Amino acid sequence: MQEFKIADQTYASRLLIGTAGYPNFHIMTESIAASGAEIATVSMRRVKFTGASGENLFALLRERDMTILPNTAGCFTAKDAILTANLAREALETSLIKLEVIGDEETLFPDVEQLLNAAETLVKDGFTVLPYCNDDPITCKKLEDLGCAAVMPLGAPIGSGMGIRNPYNIQIIRDLVQVPLIVDAGVGTASDAAIAMELGCDGVLLNTAVAKAHRPVLMAEAMKKAVEAGRAAFLAGRIPRKLYATASSPQTGMIE
Amino acid sequence: MKIHVNGEEKTVDPNLNICDLLIVLELNPKQAGIAVAVNREVVPKTAWQATELRENSDVEIIRAVQGG
């Protein structure tokens, strides 16, 4: 798979970026630009009636021709996630949904049972479902079989910056599923994103690693390069690991 | 009549439709990027004018915010 494609749309960038937690709106927009990402995630929340409506994120992302990927973050049941997805489709005029059904507040690990139920309903309702899921090959396979447009296993817990905790599972998932494989959550720095791509992932979705970096715009640029480098390395094919040395310089014609 | 909007109780005129409610709340019904659910069912924009609220209607008005 040379092209990165989601729901018949081809993207030049394999980095998907979140819009939360930046020091301010300006740094967020600069970071998104520096990342080269063409897909940005948003959450759906109640409108506040405090008078000031604040920045219009939807309008801003639209102006920049970004693909908007609404999430169902904060939902703990399939029922809530389905309603949120339907509200997002109506508000943002997109059938894309980053499906999150959380099972536990402390770890933010997915509730697999609820996730599979929600995915099934949303696929039937015509959504393009991108599920945030465990790095469990069987769950990923089931999500693919239900008709999800991608699978997005976590590298580590959301916002933890712990990197790819189980690269072997990610590798098995790569072998098992045909749909785009995107590592979502856990990336802490550029090398984590590169590792995900070197394992054969089609993309990386991250937020906190950039938003909470000391210099978010610079980290966004680093992530862009890491995703590109990791992808190139995967395509190039790494050499096998060996315990002992193999000289790279000629062994003959030495001075005596 | 009393209705609930985003979890807050509000007293509004009887048989208010969704467009009217948005105007009462100082929201522009033509503004892109918002969606409305009544009693946990999404009401499409095209049906806002025709959808009248009832006593105890539970209204959610949502929009996109920064998220990961």
For residue A180 the two structure tokens come to 């785009």
Residue of A nearest to B32 (CA): A91
Stretch B19-39: mean pLDDT, rounded? 91
Contact A73 B45 (CB under 8 A): no
Q: Give the ipTM.
A: 0.92
How many C-beta atoms surround the C-beta of residue A220 within 10 A?
27
The Cα–Cα gap between A181 and A144 comes to 10
Which residue matches tokens 């480098």? A229
The Cα–Cα gap between A131 and A69 comes to 12
In one-letter notation, the amino acid at residue A197 is M
Residue B66 is predicted with a pLDDT of 93
Side by side, the strands of the sheet bearing A96-99 are: A96-99, A128-133, A152-153
Residue of B nearest to A55 (CA): B65
- 10-residue mean pLDDT series, chain A (256 residues): 86 97 95 97 89 74 94 96 96 96 96 98 98 97 98 96 96 97 97 98 97 98 98 96 92 89
The Cα–Cα gap between B62 and A123 comes to 22
| CB contact at 8 A, A170 and A205 | no
In one-letter notation, the amino acid at residue A7 is A
**Of residues A169, A151, A196, the one with CA closest to residue A6:** A151
pLDDT digit string (tens) for A73-98? 999 999 999 999 999 999 999 999 99
In one-letter notation, the amino acid at residue A12 is A
Residue A3 is predicted with a pLDDT of 84
Question: Measured between beta carbons, which residues in chain B are less than 8 angstroms from residue A20?
Answer: 66-68
Q: Which residues of A are catalytic?
A: 98
How many C-beta atoms surround the C-beta of residue A202 within 10 A?
23
| CB contact at 8 A, A198 and A238 | yes
How many C-beta atoms surround the C-beta of residue A18 within 10 A?
31
For residue A114 the two structure tokens come to 């609820």
Q: Give the phi and the psi of residue A54 in degrees, each rounded to 5.
A: 75, -170
For residue A147 the two structure tokens come to 């008709």
Question: Measured between beta carbons, which residues in chain B are less than 8 angstroms from residue A80?
Answer: none
The minimum CA-CA distance between B41 and chain A, rounded to whole Å, is 7
The minimum CA-CA distance between B68 and chain A, rounded to whole Å, is 4
Residue B36 is predicted with a pLDDT of 96
Question: Measured between beta carbons, which residues in chain A are less than 8 angstroms from residue B10?
Answer: none
Contact A47 B40 (CB under 8 A): no
Cross-chain CB nearest to B68 (options A44, A49, A207): A207
Residue A178 is predicted with a pLDDT of 96
Residue A51 is predicted with a pLDDT of 57
Q: In A34-123, at which residue ranges do the beta strands (DSSP E only) sit?
A: 39-46, 67-70, 96-99
Q: Which residues contact A242 (CB under 8 A, 6 or more apart)?
A: none
Cross-chain CB nearest to B6 (options A47, A73, A158): A47
Question: Measured between beta carbons, which residues in chain A are less than 8 angstroms from residue B8?
Answer: 49
pLDDT digit string (tens) for A161-200? 999 999 999 999 999 999 999 999 999 999 999 999 999 9
The full set of domain ranges for chain B reads 2-63
For residue A122 the two structure tokens come to 């949303």
The Cα–Cα gap between A163 and A87 comes to 32
Q: Give the phi and the psi of residue A86 in degrees, each rounded to 5.
A: -65, -40
β-bridge partners, B34: B63
Give residue A208's Cα distance to chain centre: 12
| CB contact at 8 A, A63 and B32 | no
In one-letter notation, the amino acid at residue A137 is P
Domain B2-63 superfamily per CATH: Beta-grasp domain (3.10.20.30)
Residue A203 is predicted with a pLDDT of 98
For an interface test with B, which of A41, A46, A212 has the most B Cβ atoms less than 10 Å from its Cβ? Answer: A46
pTM for the whole thing?
0.91
β-bridge partners, B35: B62
